[in-house]
Structure 1
């Protein structure tokens, strides 16, 4: 990042800081000194880490726990046609509000904004748990999505204000590790609740755990990276007009139309239908208008161009988004292989994924410790992208006869992705001033949500289209549409042909080939992450934090 670009960012920060008397003091203090005013330490830091890890775990869990509960939910409500909206409503609500959350966090005390978002998420979870109809359930999912939009970036923003930059890789490693665990364990927990209790506990679980974590956070003093005024009606009257609500009102319809096009195009309408084409055209027009408005707003924009145009910002966002896309798609397709091809149940498929889970956690924590020790984050981002791309390519060779040593070894290599899970966050925090750190993280999470939505549709389309083709070629007696309707469970796949049929081997091969084709999407996303990692900057984070910023007793 050039000195001129850094000057532009700090100038934008100073403009925002002038909105209140409290922020005026911030304007007169260098960014490095602002960041070193106070940090959380000792038992308070332990409680803060427990609280934020719980929040992070619950929100990431909510994205995956529903997958194994949906069949029973559709049966209870007798609305199989609504299945797409059970995921889509959450995704739409979260993605459309995401960019605005960074502006809110940059102007109001992060802790209370975060608790507000989590309160909305808890309300959505409660509505889902008590839902008496499919419509009520979809509304609950949308409300939960609105709340989730500010939780991931909020947790990272709070943690970055609470600990010195040099120590953040370790603590963020633990935070991200909890998120990785929840993504993978979600289907197992959801299946257990659905089978042994009720699917409603997939959402009830958020209430007691979230309430306890919220209590911990509420009683802990968490410093903000910049001085912000106390929340009051007068402050809100000042802040709300500066939130670029016009930009949000232009962006939200465009994002909704784009995601609806992806949702409908992958399930309900042909891609060349007037509905899908119209949605894409409407989204393109809205986004073009949004970009023009944001350029006009300058540094007061919801997504300031002065920040996004800096190489380390957009490169880090793409690196992080594409790496996380590989992780989430792996969690989506690996169970399909183990259940449909290898013939194990839902619980056992999770056990078979332990090599990927455990190695990923080890590399997340290890990279955090070594980044703190040696100071450089770029090597870990490069290694993560390279190894994940290679592993995805190797995994795409899995077949019905793949030996246990192969699928364990390839998953361990796939777990090296953990090395780069926090590199982008550290890159932004070490290159942006504290006043724009929340905006940068919000942009990062927004790109992650957008990439995941797009690549998930691409991966699902490749999988389904390949399956239709392979079933017709390898098992002509099986109805291709019936193979799709059967789903991916071991019992349903094997019920496609009579017991003892020699054609079963070809059915399993068709599912295996379809899985292999979907893995190309993982490899493509990981390769993009590898390329982008080289532009993240060779920065030693040890030189960014004055020694006076740390307190005795820091954990």
Structure 2
């Protein structure tokens, strides 16, 4: 049904005239409003938070056969490219720092991407709810490709960081978009299989990234680590443009919608409070102790500004209620908030170990970019195998995810702790074995947050829960990677003073992780290697600490079976 002009006038007597066009005021009545000039605009009502599962459309129209396979294939390819971009740069970073003399910026190469990605993550669900899923996906893909192009042609470290931030903005909507398109194209009974394929294929990006990045860096240039995204994106966009993707979401924001309507629907006020809070917090962590002292006015001001702004954001979201960018009511569910916290610390352990393993193998062990990529593949393969296997066992066989979450968290913390004991002479068996232990832990627990939230929330709430989980993992990685960068830089300066006092620390830092051997005297190289080893271990200490926090919070994810009961046929 739709609201007539007479009914609208009746509502206007009960609502303040200033709020007659407010989405929230008329949401319970109907999301379809008639404007004063006779044009109708349809604004989707925000979903209600409830524990009851949503019903599927009575007569859904799904695509089938080859067309479905092509759609799922191209969105999986885009997700693969996005995850490839997060890991391919790992083995290229040492060479980048040498070319740009920018060792201090190592943390920003990952944090800039993750910061912009996590800042936009909560909004992506609203974009896909209000606009065509295919065109929204293509817009995010275009922004991601633009960021990759900027990185590829970067002439300075700052330009590269800007490119990484732009790519992160685009990447924020690719995984959510892929899952949204998948749900629109396939019936419920086929979605778990297709989702498993999409996530599994996308995870190959993490697996192949370090190895491919090492090969491109050594035999061509590190710039191809970013240029490689351009032809892949062109293929994905070209195929999607030729295929009609069903759109099942209720609302669309029309061209006639007012700015005030858009402001309410997308909770722009919440975003404008949320993003600066995250940026100020990360800047304080990145600059504290390196660029500025921790007790300097700038660092204290950034922390205070972040805290104050975030308090305003929480108040705003409380007032928005169900229409908020991040509905605070969801955090009353213990399984939800503990799963989000677990993802926050899991993302930290994954990113810190990935980035600083590459520095260890190239700076400490003297490996080439290609061989350093080979050296870390064992841990990534273990993670991938255990992620797929634990998901099948937890959901399809055992039904309880908590043992995998707790056991995986424990092994992850132990593995990170063992990795922090690496020295310049650690045996091959040890550095392989320690990676396997950490990989088993990460892989076993990686999907348990998704499983827990899926079982704790209704179908209508699941998309929001997934967005929160993705945000927490990305944001956790960006925050703790910035902290690790500060710890590493400070640790390197202190260790150089201890093991290579005759070397100017600025010379070593400016030369980068792979260039210092050519700028310091040969007699001082062993001391610098020892200093690098100690500084990398400091970063691994932080990863181990995050692993312990991950283990502690895993206990709150709930002892709940997610295995579907078998249907019992009634006796005849």
Report TM bin, short chain.
0.7 to 0.9
Structure 1 Cα separation of the partners of residues 499 and 458 of structure 2: 58
Structure 1 Cα separation of the partners of residues 533 and 318 of structure 2: 48
Matches within 5 A, 1:280-429: 280-374=303-397, 375-416=399-440, 417-429=442-454
Structure 2 Cα separation of the partners of residues 126 and 137 of structure 1: 10
Residue 552 of structure 1 corresponds to: none
Matches within 5 A, 1:497-516: 497-498=521-522, 501=523, 504-516=525-537
Q: Mean Cα displacement is larger for which, 479-488 or 307-316?
A: 479-488
Structure 2 Cα separation of the partners of residues 222 and 303 of structure 1: 28
Structure 2 Cα separation of the partners of residues 376 and 41 of structure 1: 33
Residue 4 of structure 1 corresponds to: none
How far the C-alpha of 1:545 sits from its partner, in A, is 11
Residue 445 of structure 1 corresponds to: 470
**Aligned partners of 1:124 and 1:143 also within 8 Å:** yes
Matches within 5 A, 1:33-48: 33-34=55-56, 42-48=65-71
1:299-345 Cα distance to aligned partner (Å, 9 max, x none): 11111111233212211111122222211211111122222222221
Match of 2:292 among 252, 266, 269: 269
Are residues 1:461 and 2:486 paired? yes
Where does structure 2 lack aligned partners over 5 or more consecutive residues? Answer: 1-23, 33-41
Using a 3 Å threshold, how does the CA distance of structure 1 residues 70 and 341 change in structure 2: closer, same or farther?
closer
Using a 3 Å threshold, how does the CA distance of structure 1 residues 404 and 141 change in structure 2: closer, same or farther?
closer
Structure 2 Cα separation of the partners of residues 156 and 532 of structure 1: 27
- SS of 1:535 mapped into structure 2: helix
Match of 1:543 among 536, 546, 564: 564
Using a 3 Å threshold, how does the CA distance of structure 1 residues 372 and 487 change in structure 2: closer, same or farther?
same
Matches within 5 A, 1:63-74: 63-66=86-89
How far the C-alpha of 1:59 sits from its partner, in A, is 1.6
Structure 2 Cα separation of the partners of residues 350 and 522 of structure 1: 20
How far the C-alpha of 1:52 sits from its partner, in A, is 2.8
How far the C-alpha of 1:362 sits from its partner, in A, is 1.0
- SS of 2:429 mapped into structure 1: helix
Matches within 5 A, 1:100-179: 100-130=123-153, 139-159=162-182, 171-179=194-202
How far the C-alpha of 1:231 sits from its partner, in A, is 6.5
Residue 488 of structure 1 corresponds to: 513
**Aligned partners of 1:168 and 1:426 also within 8 Å:** no
Using a 3 Å threshold, how does the CA distance of structure 1 residues 60 and 497 change in structure 2: closer, same or farther?
same
How far the C-alpha of 1:533 sits from its partner, in A, is 2.2
Matched length: 529
How far the C-alpha of 1:264 sits from its partner, in A, is 2.7
Q: Mean Cα displacement is larger for which, 28-37 or 426-435?
A: 28-37
Structure 2 Cα separation of the partners of residues 517 and 78 of structure 1: 22
1:351-401 Cα distance to aligned partner (Å, 9 max, x none): 111210211111122122223422333332222211111111122222222
Using a 3 Å threshold, how does the CA distance of structure 1 residues 484 and 173 change in structure 2: closer, same or farther?
farther
Residue 461 of structure 2 corresponds to: 436
Residue 530 of structure 1 corresponds to: 551
How far the C-alpha of 1:429 sits from its partner, in A, is 2.6
- SS of 1:531 mapped into structure 2: helix
Q: Give TM-score scaled by structure 1 length.
A: 0.82
- SS of 1:50 mapped into structure 2: helix
How far the C-alpha of 1:286 sits from its partner, in A, is 0.9
Structure 2 Cα separation of the partners of residues 362 and 462 of structure 1: 32
**Aligned partners of 1:114 and 1:151 also within 8 Å:** yes
Where does structure 1 lack aligned partners over 5 or more consecutive residues? Answer: 1-11, 548-555
Are residues 1:19 and 2:43 paired? no
Using a 3 Å threshold, how does the CA distance of structure 1 residues 431 and 65 change in structure 2: closer, same or farther?
same
How far the C-alpha of 1:507 sits from its partner, in A, is 3.9
**Aligned partners of 1:92 and 1:256 also within 8 Å:** yes
Structure 1 Cα separation of the partners of residues 190 and 430 of structure 2: 37
Q: Give TM-score scaled by structure 2 length.
A: 0.80
Structure 1 Cα separation of the partners of residues 149 and 539 of structure 2: 35
**Aligned partners of 1:103 and 1:439 also within 8 Å:** no
